[in-house]
Amino acid sequence: MNARITFAVAGRVLTQVRRDHRTLAMLLVVPCVLISLLWWMFDDLPGDMFDRFGPALLAMFPFIVMFLVTSVTTLRERSSGTLERLLTMPMGKLDFLMGYALAFGLLAAVQSALAVAVSVGLLGLDVNGPVWLLGLVAVVDAVLGTALGLLVSAFATTEFQAVQFMPAFVLPQILLCGLFVPREAMPGVLEVISDLLPLSYAVDAMQELVGRADEREVWRSVGVVAGFAVASLALGAATLRRRTP
Amino acid sequence: MMKNIIEVRDLVVVRGSQEVLPGISLDVTPGVTGLLGPSGCGKTTLMRALVGAQRLRSGSVEVLGEPAGSAPLRTRVGYVTQAASVYDDLTVAENLTFFARVLGVERSSAEEVVASVGLADHRHQVVGRLSGGQRSRVSLAVALLGSPEMLVLDEPTVGLDPVLRRDLWGLFHRIADGGAAVLVSSHVMDEAERCDRLLLMREGRIIADGTPSEIRTRTGAADIEQAFLHLVEGAAA
């Protein structure tokens, strides 16, 4: 690992995103609009439906968005030859991966800060735990999305295919994360599968913060998400090869 | 006898079910060496092997006395792929600054290489909006960062106008005069006369190796294109 190279990659990725105004706007504005839409949808209904669904949505945004953005950008990096060139230079695989994780982690921090500010400040989401912890869960979650995006980009040869990994990898996690049906109420097999999927733990952490706010439980869930992120980064590193056939 | 910068011995490369390089051996000394041959003859595969990007079946590839692609070589070798391997959404200057940081070379050398490929006026333009020839020169500029001792250039002059082509060949010779080996591939035989030495390649094999005049004399041909035909037809007969 080399800090200079890692920061060079992170800085470059951020410059690319900054230059792409439309992507930047989508990254930052769309989550705020969607969470407001969710609040508005439940506005006339009795009970605290927004408090039930809001946290899960806050967990999903950074994950989905970073998964998509990373899988497409790294695929471009593979197909344009820049990755091959970088790997003939003194670029470690981890430098490359950590650079991406750092850049998208930072973007996720800004994105979640905005989404959390809108949810808590404007829409009255009740958070019983510390609000900063909500932001931290979102960042870890974004790093997980980045790590998985890097990993699946190795198995796609076109941007079309990369985008198709979104329904294949992400939608099942959304269905099984406990948002629609509490995880313990699912059929046994699905509950086991849900226990194996990282997004379930991200949603658990968010819901815990809004509900009982047992910080130990939150940290346990964040730990599991971080573990998944590290494992995917390691697997992703294995897919980066200096020598290709 | 000049020392070899590149030594390839019995190199075999198989891609899919095809044996692209069936056991090639060659040496490259300092100076500008042209690797000439038709499309699909294995030039790119050979060049990828020299920079350590190609998986090998057997044989050995040594560059500057080290196994090709080994860590000590990664700052000493410059490589330009056929497609411009630069970031289209960054400016010329941003691309160069990024690669300079990766290589750990001075920021000032990023400005020098932009000037040496004639793009100083386009420094702050986004690469995606440049012409094809300009983009490939940005890619070439990246390879020049840190004054590498070996430059591997895969068809760097394709599609460029004659004036620019002449200027670039002038640049290759200036770099070679500094003691580096510059290996330039081309499928256009008329670039042959600009090289100090030629390697003619066909179907994964080197069919001739020498200075342009040596090859012409040996084959009794008027130019390298004729010499190539002569060698191929001579081998078939």
| pLDDT tens profile A201-221 | 999 998 888 888 888 999 999
A225 has a pLDDT exceeding 90 = yes
d(CA B64, CA B173): 19
Q: Both tokens of residue A141?
A: 């979650």
Task: Return the pLDDT at B97.
Answer: 95
Task: Return the pLDDT at B1.
Answer: 52
Report the share of chain B in percent with pLDDT over 90.
62
Q: Show me where the domains of chain B are located.
A: 86-147
B75 has a pLDDT exceeding 80 = yes
8 Å CB contact of B52 and A11: no
Which pLDDT band holds residue A244 (cuts at 50, 70, 90)? confident
Which of A82, A159, A244 has the highest number of chain B CBs within 10 A, making it the mutation to test binding with B? A82
Task: Return the pLDDT at B11.
Answer: 93
Kindly report, residue by residue over B104-130, the tens digit of the pLDDT.
Answer: 998 888 999 999 898 999 999 999 999
Kindly report, residue by residue over A59-115, the tens digit of the pLDDT.
Answer: 888 888 889 888 888 888 888 889 989 999 999 888 998 999 899 889 888 988 898
Contacts A–B by Cβ distance under 8 A: 79
Task: Return the pLDDT at B235.
Answer: 63
Report the gap between the CA of B226 and the closest CA in chain A (Å).
34
Query: In this complex, is the C-beta atom of B15 within 8 Å of any C-beta atom belonging to chain A?
Result: yes
Kindly report, residue by residue over B175-233, the tens digit of the pLDDT.
Answer: 999 889 999 998 888 888 899 999 999 999 999 999 999 999 988 888 888 888 888 88
8 Å CB contact of B55 and A19: no
Going by C-alpha positions, the residue among A240, A243, A227, A244 that lies closest to residue A96 is A240
| ipTM, interface predicted TM-score of the complex | 0.88
Name the pTM for this structure: 0.88
8 Å CB contact of B103 and A89: yes
Report the gap between the CA of B39 and the closest CA in chain A (Å).
19
8 Å CB contact of B79 and A88: yes
B70 has a pLDDT exceeding 70 = yes
Q: Which residues of B touch A11 (CB under 8 A)?
A: 98, 101
Question: What average pLDDT is seen over chain A?
Answer: 89
Query: In this complex, is the C-beta atom of B19 within 8 Å of any C-beta atom belonging to chain A?
Result: no
Q: What CA–CA distances, in Å, run from B139 to A230, B91, B96, B154?
A: 34, 12, 9, 11
Q: Which residues of A touch B126 (CB under 8 A)?
A: 19
Going by C-alpha positions, the residue among A35, A34, A10, A218 that lies closest to residue A96 is A10
Task: Return the pLDDT at A134.
Answer: 86
| Number of alpha carbons in the 13 Å side-chain half-sphere of residue A200 | 18
d(CA B157, CA B63): 24
